[in-house]
Structure formats: C-alpha cells, structure tokens
Copies of this chain bind each other. A is one copy, B any other.
Amino acid sequence: MGIIDDGRSAAEGGARRTGGVVLPPARLADVARMAGVSKGTASKALNDKSDVRSETRLRVLEAAEALSFRPSAIARNLTSGRTGTVGILTNDLDGRFVLPILAGAEDALGAGEISVLLCDARGDAIREQRHLKTLLERRIDGLIVVGGARTEPRPTLGRDLPIPVVYAYAPSSSPDDLSLVSDNRLGGRVAAEHLWEIGRRRIAYIGGDASFVASREREEGARAALADLGGELIADGALYGDWTERWGRAMASRLLQSNPEIDAIIAASDGLARAALDVLRDQGRRVPEDVAVVGYDNWSIIVQNTRPELTSIDMELEAMGRLAASRLFGALSGHDLGSGVEALPVQLIVRASTVKDDLDGGSPG
C-alpha cells in the first residue's frame, strides 16, 4: 500500500490497472522498499546473484510477486548495451517466407530471450529507409533482411551500420555481406533424382517467371542431376512465363501436346505443380501412374489440398532463420559474421503425386 503515496503521477508511464485502480508499474525501488532492503540488494536477489541471504531473497521475491514487478528491459539494456531484440526487414507481402524465418530466429536463442521487430517495407525503398532508421534508433542487436518472392540479389544496406546484418532468402548485392539462401540447384537435383529413382525417364521441367533466378537455378539443378544419371531433361526451351496457375496450365497443356510421352513433371513452384495436376486430370492422365509431379516450396495450403497430395521441395526456412539469428548473436560475441553467399540444403517431402502408397499422405497435419 505504501507505493501509491510517493508522489508519482498515475499518468506517467504505462498505467497498471488493478481492480479498477490505476497504478504506475512497480519499479525496483518499490520492491526494495516493500522488502525492506536497498535497490542493490533487491536487484541481486531478483537476478539470482550470490551474496544474498536466502531469507532476504525470499522476501524480495515475494514483494516482486505482490507488486507484479517486471524489470524494465529498457533500463536494464541502457546499461548493458544489448536490447535482446532483432529486427527483420522484409518485402515479403504475404509472409510465406518471412514467418518461418521469424519463427526460426525466435527459437535460436530460446523463445522469450529474444524479441523480433518485424517491419514490412512493402517493396518501397523510402519505407525501407524509414524502418531502418527506426530500428537503429531502437538499438536492435542485429538485423535480418528477408527478401520477397524474388530471390535476385537485393541492394546492400551498406557496411557502415552499427550492428551485424544477415541477408536471408534473397542475397545482398555485396559480397562483403553475409547472405543465407536456399540451394535452388540442389532442390532441382533432389527432385530429379527422386523421379529417376522411381523409374521415370521422360522428365520435364515447368519454370515460372524466367527473370527469377530461382526458377532457372532449379532447372539447372534438375538438368545436371539427370545428366549425371545418364538421362536428360525434356524442355522445349520456352517453358517460362509467370507464376500464376493460369500460365502453369497453359504451359502444361503445351508440354503434354508437344511431348506426350513424358512421365514426370518438375514444377518451379507448388502453384505451377497444381496447375499441371489440373491439366493432367482434365486430360485423363493418372497421377502418379502415368505422370508423376513434384512441386516446390512445400506450401501446406497447396500440397495438402491437391489431388493427389503433392510431393514437394521444402526450403527449411525455419533452419534458415535459426542460422541467421545464431550468426547474428555469434557476431555480437566476437565471432566473425562471415561474408558471401551460403546456400542451405533443402528437403524432399514425398507425397502421393509421385509415390502412390504414401502412407502418411492421407491427412498429414
């Protein structure tokens, strides 16, 4: 009760409502006073330092509990220089990529240890600069820049930032920066090898927007894998357009007409794969018996809803987020951040569009 009459205005700071009464948040001094000790002792007790009699510690903890005391990370980090906060700057409109990365980053240091300030620049350079300025003012410990759908190199934020920066998903244009990307060639390779293993020999590739390097790299990976195995990739050389299913259907139709013998399709995205499945269905071709299909992204909304469910390549974005965050905090501990582009492995998720008796293809999730 002694904490309301110390002259502090109820309007300052965040107000604490308890049973309708408005109180300012409890401070360390309030806890110390209630426990009958000094601030220093209270601080030690709350932070599990030694040099505190256990009985005293107990009194402090009880007082803190009674007052719903929450130490101000603001004040604490004003001294330590660390805020326990990282920024994520992104252009990823629908969050397909950034959210798994965010989840991974949160996990890297144990949930609750680190908080993430998420800023969406929405493809606007001005907005990006404003967000960056705000993040720096908030003294984030590190920054993860997550590319949007496009994986082309993006402009670097420069080297004269006071904090370590990791570029994820889309690389930085500068080789001095550290960029973590998904290994698109490996993805194409893994897809092709899987199809080869299940006996397919007439394998075609359906690309998305040709201006996306991801689309081309995935094709290159598939092509290289088949060459290694003594086969080759079927393509009429113009299988690129955009990422819509509409375009995917047009491509698939043309492909099936020009190369009716194909027994497998690798698509550059799950959407394109779904488009291929639709066309195959319209034409009465069975999947996977007649034609096997592999998608890319392992996007649950698609892969679990197609007929049959879709085998796909998972980019393991959570792992990317974990790695980004641990590199960031490693740099803060003095380890070298590193530089250049690191390509991270992908994983093949097999479903019924390539292997018929997929046991967990029924309703996984």
Contacts and interface: CB of A to CB of B under 8 A. Distances in A.
Nearest to A275: B305
Contacts of A119: 106, 115-116
Nearest to A138: B73
Contacts of A116: 117-119
A363 B305 contact: no
B117 A115 contact: yes
**Copies per complex of this chain:** 2
Nearest to A243: B305
Contacts of A106: 119-120
A45 to B, nearest CB: 17
Contact size class for A? Answer: 35 or more
B112 A73 contact: no
Interface in A99-152: 99, 102-103, 106, 111-113, 115-120, 122, 127, 130-131, 133-139, 141
A286 interface: no
A19 B176 CA distance: 12
Contacts of A137: 70-73
A211 interface: no
A133 B74 contact: no
A321 to B, nearest CB: 12
A102 B117 contact: no
21 contacts: A14-B163, A16-B160, A16-B162, A18-B159, A19-B159, A25-B139, A68-B162, A73-B134, A73-B138, A75-B78, A85-B117, A94-B300, A99-B120, A102-B118, A103-B120, A112-B131, A115-B134, A244-B304, A271-B301, A275-B305, A278-B307
A133 B14 CA distance: 15
A70 B73 CA distance: 20
A218 B43 CA distance: 54
Given A77-B74, A81-B12, A301-B301, A115 B102 contact: no
Nearest to A16: B162
Contacts of A131: 111-112
A52 interface: no
A122 B103 CA distance: 9
Which 9 residue pairs spanning A and B have beta carbons closest together? Answer: A13-B81, A112-B130, A95-B95, A245-B305, A16-B162, A14-B162, A73-B137, A118-B118, A95-B99
Contacts of A194: none
